[in-house]
Structure 1
Amino acid sequence: MKKIGLVPRLIISIVLGILLGLVLPSPVIRIFVTFSSLFSKYLSFIIPFMIIGFVVTGISDLRHGAGKLLGITTLIAYISTIIAGTLSYFMAITIFPKILNFASFVTVEHPEKNLLTAYFDIPVTPMFDVTSAIIFAFIMGLSISWLRNKGEGQTTYNLFREFSKIITKLLSTSIIPLLPIYIFGTFMNMTYSGQIFATLSIFLKVFICVIILHILYTAGLFIFAGGLSGKNPFVCMKNQIPGYFTALGTQSSAATIPINIECSKKNGTSPEIREFVVPLCATIHLAGSIITITSCVVTVLMMHDMSYGMSTIFPFIMVLGVAMVAAPGAPGGAIMSALPFLGMVGIASSSPMASLLIALYITQDSFGTAANVSGDNAIAIIVDWIYHKFIKK
């Protein structure tokens, strides 16, 4: 298997997971479910350290304009998320009434109802959550950058630089090699539960429209980035394929960080920018997720003959762009972060409509996450161009 590239291994894992999920007995499937459950907890434990390891050193390496770049990157990521959600809304109100037969829809069971559980569980609580890690990384990174500009702080810088190397070694030896098995168990369980096929049979047309918009929006970001930087956008999109498939399998932007940094390296993004922007955008750039959620929300509102005007949906999109920050750390995290705000569009978070919304979203979550991480590298190209054009002189 080591001779096979990561992308083929991920594809094989997904296909085998779906096929064997149809034929293997539940006791066998639960073995892999147990592994996936334990690996997921281990991954959740590592993610905050991953963010600190990469973001602190990434920001502290920016000897010029670290604070400016942090603000610029955050602003670009938020604007991209809002634009993506708005485009999704206009696609939904334009296309869905023409292609969907709402009278034929039936209520879908809660998506986790039929999933198999692990044989045993080992509680592994992260030492701190993702949001705390981001804030700590910002504070330390900016402070170290400031100290280094004064000729100080080298000891602290070296400490975090070596910590970053430890995290990189940990990822290369224990995370990336086990990702295919984790993905295999996850897809096997989803297939066994009937979640994939039951939901897709109802929402296939919505699913196709959303994926097309994911691809078009991501391509648009790369074309815009290529136009600014002079890079070939199609070569950059080709370089993004490993990151796309990794996110497709893990359903986690944070878990895809190490692969995505390698994709950014192939795009020629400078080390100080890619090690800063990619981990940061993995937690704040949610273009793919908001496309999916907006389409799902509008679909559910249409099904129940509720209001879905711009005055109802746009404030929801604006709030969601902030509320979902750090949600990509876990599969399905974006829709769970959105649940408290469904009341803005008239959907109670504990209602059957919310359950239907979760079912629709989770089926498409992999593709939304893949669009998220792909857009992260387009933003890295843009920020890299800004950095060398206007800040690093």
Structure 2
Amino acid sequence: MSAASPALLHRLKRISLVTQIIIGLIAGIALALLAPEVAKSTTLIGKLFVTALKAVAPILVFVLVMASIANHKVGQETHIRPILYLYLLGTFAAAVVAVVASTLFPSKLVLTTHDVAISAPGGIGEVLQSLLLSVVDNPVSALMNANFIGILAWAIGMGVAIRHAGDTTREVLGDLSNGVTLIVRMVICFAPLGIFGLVASTLATSGFGALIGYVHLLAVLLGCMLFVALVMNPIIVFWKLRRNPYPLVWTCLRESGITAFFTRSSAANIPVNLELSKRLGLHEDTYSVSIPLGATINMAGAAITITVLTLAAVHTLGIAVDIPTAILLSVVAAICACGASGVAGGSLLLIPLACSLFGIPSEIAMQVVAVGFIIGVLQDSAETALNSSTDVLFTAAACLGEEQKNPA
């Protein structure tokens, strides 16, 4: 037994992480189908994995960004500006896709009257105000509450300040960054087990019975997300790189999208994206900032969710939508998506903002939010997979594009 164990561990190490995750996925589905009561008990395994990712992500972002800026060499390009352009373009394009799809394949909802006790923002101004307040948040509070906008602000400020410190201080900061990165890698090694627990417990508890009445709505939502992931994003990447984008697209979907699909949190997937960016050979000074920033503002999936569910309510109520209003909805959805939190269900709370464009009262808008939570088993998972994988995709596209323009 003792001789066989090292051999088994050695074989497991040779299996890629994606393959291990797929094995965990299949095992979770099988357990949920064969022994649902046992599968429900695996909830703790999934929660431990997601909680560990969420716990390490704020510290990782703070230390990594601070160390990257502190050790940044003068004249070294970080490519942050083109990445921001791609984030904004991708989010707006996703909203436009959702408007077109919802117009061609209109969905209707059965709006109920039960109350949903959820607090949603009151307007776009409130979303923007919240973002500004997040920037000046107390650093301890930002770390505790995973406020990545605040974490980035403090990390950038501290990094700039420490650039004027002695070499020893900057070396210690670099060593601290390496130490936190090592811990993250250890957590990611448990991804297959975590995915197994998440899949088994979710299927055993919720199943797909609650989704039957919303097949058409889900088809439009998931269809838009697939179109953006497989058509729109590749077009944007091709425009940036002028070469076949699909090898990079598939890599990001496979190695980032899968874990994001099951963790259902862009914030929790930040360590996975940072590790993938490193393996892709991207600039650390770039991805250490763009990945956590993308988890906050690069929300193509959220823009689709907000737009499709809002237009579903519009069609249900028989409200006419003209082209100028559709364009305005795309802009509002993109802005709202940038204000969506990086946690499960964050985009749903911003649906009332978009509904207000059509004079839909908050009571009805919150019923639409409730529908969003019902279909959240698939909607939120697909949304997060699109959001998070696109963070890496656009970061890689910007870095590789700038390298093509300025070869070493």
Query: TM (normalized to structure 1)?
Result: 0.77
**1:85 counterpart residue number:** 95
> Using the alignment, how far apart are the partners of 1:262 and 1:207 within structure 2?
32
**2:86 counterpart residue number:** 76
Between 277-286 and 203-212, report the one with greater CA deviation.
203-212
> Using the alignment, how far apart are the partners of 1:9 and 1:233 within structure 2?
26
1:58 to 1:327, Cα distance in 2 relative to 1, 3 A: farther
Shift in Å, 1:93:
0.9
Between 312-321 and 246-255, report the one with greater CA deviation.
312-321
Shift in Å, 1:168:
1.2
Conserved 8 A contact 2:70-2:159: yes
- Equivalent in 353, 366, 369 of residue 381 of structure 2: 366
Shift in Å, 1:184:
2.5
Shift in Å, 1:269:
2.8
> Using the alignment, how far apart are the partners of 2:34 and 2:318 within structure 1?
40
Is residue 216 of structure 1 aligned with residue 232 of structure 2? no
Shift in Å, 1:287:
0.8
**1:118 counterpart residue number:** none
1:130 match: secondary structure: coil
In structure 2, stretches of 5+ residues that fail to align are 1-11, 117-140
Conserved 8 A contact 1:265-1:271: yes
1:252-271 matched pairs, under 5 angstroms: 252-271=265-284
Conserved 8 A contact 2:349-2:369: no
**2:146 counterpart residue number:** 130
> Using the alignment, how far apart are the partners of 2:395 and 2:195 within structure 1?
27
1:177 to 1:360, Cα distance in 2 relative to 1, 3 A: same
- Equivalent in 190, 212, 233 of residue 245 of structure 2: 233
> Using the alignment, how far apart are the partners of 2:390 and 2:42 within structure 1?
31
**2:399 counterpart residue number:** 384
> Using the alignment, how far apart are the partners of 1:108 and 1:15 within structure 2?
39
Q: Which runs of 4+ in 1 moved over 6 A?
A: 65-68, 108-111, 389-393
> Using the alignment, how far apart are the partners of 2:198 and 2:333 within structure 1?
27
1:329-340 matched pairs, under 5 angstroms: 329-336=342-349, 338=351
> Using the alignment, how far apart are the partners of 2:113 and 2:405 within structure 1?
52
Shift in Å, 1:155:
4.6
Conserved 8 A contact 1:66-1:142: no
1:128 to 1:71, Cα distance in 2 relative to 1, 3 A: farther
Shift in Å, 1:355:
0.8
Conserved 8 A contact 2:329-2:357: yes
Q: CA deviation digits over 1:29-58, x for unaligned, max 9?
A: 343113333443333322211221333334
> Using the alignment, how far apart are the partners of 2:76 and 2:339 within structure 1?
21
Conserved 8 A contact 1:69-1:387: yes
- Equivalent in 291, 299, 305 of residue 318 of structure 2: 305
Q: CA RMSD in A?
A: 3.8
1:314 to 1:341, Cα distance in 2 relative to 1, 3 A: same
In structure 1, stretches of 5+ residues that fail to align are 112-124
Q: Give 2:146's aligned amino acid.
A: V
Query: TM (normalized to structure 2)?
Result: 0.75
Shift in Å, 1:223:
4.0
Shift in Å, 1:338:
4.8
Q: Give 2:200's aligned amino acid.
A: M
**1:348 counterpart residue number:** 362
Shift in Å, 1:190:
2.6
Shift in Å, 1:344:
4.6
Conserved 8 A contact 1:108-1:356: no
Conserved 8 A contact 2:143-2:151: no
1:37-186 matched pairs, under 5 angstroms: 37-60=47-70, 62-63=72-73, 69-94=79-104, 96-97=105-106, 102=108, 127-131=143-147, 133-141=148-156, 144-145=159-160, 148=163, 152=165, 154-173=167-186, 175-186=187-198
1:224 to 1:342, Cα distance in 2 relative to 1, 3 A: closer
> Using the alignment, how far apart are the partners of 2:144 and 2:356 within structure 1?
29
Q: CA deviation digits over 1:313-353, x for unaligned, max 9?
A: 65555455444447563222332455666545525268433
**2:288 counterpart residue number:** 275
Q: How many residues align?
A: 370
Conserved 8 A contact 1:55-1:279: no
1:66 to 1:352, Cα distance in 2 relative to 1, 3 A: farther
